Structure 1
Amino acid sequence: MKFVWTSAFFLLTNLFTQAQVLTSEDVSLSFFSDAPIEDITAESHTGVSALNVESKSIYFKVAIRSFQFRKSLMQEHFNENYMESHKYPHAEFKGQLTSEVDFSAAGTYPVNVEGELTIHNVTKSYRVNGELRVTKQAVEAQATFLVKLVDHQIKIPRLLIKNIAEVVEVSVAAKYESDDLKIVK
């Protein structure tokens, strides 16, 4: 699995210009479904990300099967019945920071990101509010946004409509670290 992600990073850094590209394998993603009968939450700590400091492009990718649930039956239904992870193994976001961020000055910056999220092989445009924290050692990104399942053609059987919310809250956090990070003066 590590080889696949490393290969993906190699390709990503070649897609970006020769500007400073920060990569992260320290990416956490989670989602929360607030439904009348039962709340559902799942987490993954195996996502990858790249941030091009010059062009302000940002990229995230996560394996659907990497999400962990507190109940194994939920995880099985999630992968087999809803996400069909055998057909659509990854979720991916490609976006652009539209807010100004001074990567040469330490601080916390509210950011807006516009991009495309692909889940279940359906791509949809999103505008997301988030935050970047710049220090001498790292850049940390975090955001929370809503995803309508119907927008990505994820079907909920009528029988289970009270068990699964039609809109889920997605949270993402990434930490880009490097021994030679020379962004902040």
Structure 2
Amino acid sequence: MQKLIVTLIALLLCTGIKAQIWVSKTVNASFFSSTPLEDIDAQSKTGASAINVKTNEIIFKINNSSFQFKKKLMQEHFNENYMESDKYPTSDFKGKIVEQVDLTKPGTYTVTVKGNLQIHGVSKEYQTKASLIVANDEIKASSAFNVKLADHGIKIPTIVFKQIAETIQVKMTATYQPKK
């Protein structure tokens, strides 16, 4: 986890500007797939993220094998058959808050985040809304968006096609503190 945080900060510092970096070691990521036959949901609480409040750059990184399922067999199939977590151990997002927002000032901001989401070794551009609450020397962020599995090269075998939705809903929350 520490290595993940250091990597994220290093990526944001490469902008050449003396950055004001805020980090989160408490990223919660979840996804939900609903079909008439079965609902699938999983959560990870081990992701990491960083925001450069001067440039509005943002990055998230999550270990794919950290997602926990209610059914262990689903978790096994997720890691071995769909995400191929041994081959693609992480998923990440690198992007920017589109609007010019002063994240050093308290307030609640609805922003647009645009960037590339890399899942299963395939990167695709996404744009979504996010909520940012700046208060008490922290930033709380949350967002929800949909991901088409086919867009990231994740194939669903025909035998289980009716059990896994083609599009899943992803939710992310994070609490950031200034990097000291």
Task: Calculate the TM-score normalised by the size of structure 2.
Answer: 0.94
1:41 Cα deviation from its structure 2 partner? 0.3
CA distance in 2 between counterparts of 1:8 and 1:100 reads 25
1:161-172 correspondence runs (5 A):
161-172=161-172
Amino acid paired to 2:3:
V
Return the letter of the residue paired with 2:154.
Answer: I
Distance 2:146 2:12 in 1: 29
- Cα contact 2:9–2:50 (8 A) shared by 1: no
1-side partners of 2:127 and 2:12: how far apart? 24
Q: Which amino acid aligns with 1:14?
A: L
Distance of 1:92 and 1:61 partners within structure 2: 4
Query: What is the correspondence of 1:141-152 to structure 2 with a 5 Å cutoff?
Result: 141-152=141-152
User: Whole-Å Cα distance in 2 between the matches of residues 129 and 141 of structure 1?
Assistant: 11
1:54 corresponds in structure 2 to: 54
Secondary structure of 1:11 counterpart = helix
Cα 1:179–1:15, aligned 2, differ >3 Å: closer, same or farther? closer
Q: Deviations over 1:81-130 (max 9, x none)?
A: 00000000000000110123232431110000110000000000000111
Quote the Cα distance in structure 1 between the aligned partners of 2:95 and 2:179. Answer: 26
Q: For 2:171 and 2:117, how far apart are their aligned partners in 1?
A: 13
Report the CA distance between 1:4 and its aligned residue: 2.4
Spell out, residue by residue over 1:128-175, the C-alpha distance to the aligned partner (whole angstroms, 9 max, x if none): 111110113201111000000000010001111111000000000110
1:3 is displaced (CA, Å) by: 3.9
1:13 Cα deviation after fit: 4.6
DSSP 3-state at the match of 2:105? coil
SS at match of 1:8: helix
- RMSD across aligned C-alpha pairs, in angstroms? 1.5
Give the CA deviation at 1:26: 1.0
Contact 2:27–2:174 under 8 Å retained in 1: yes
Gaps of 5+ in 1: 181-185
Number of equivalent positions: 179
Measure, in 1, the Cα distance between the counterparts of 2:98 and 2:12. 21
The reply on whether 1:18 has 2:18 as its aligned counterpart is: yes
Unpaired segments ≥5 residues, structure 2? none
* 8 Å contact kept, 2:61–2:93: yes
In the alignment, is residue 154 of structure 1 matched against residue 154 of structure 2?
Answer: yes
**Distance across 2 between alignment mates of 1:141 and 1:94:** 15
Aligned to 1:128: 128
Alpha-carbon distance in 2 for matches of 1:77, 1:121: 18
Cα distance between partner residues in 1 of 2:52 and 2:178: 14
Please give the secondary structure, in 2, of the residue aligned with 1:78. helix
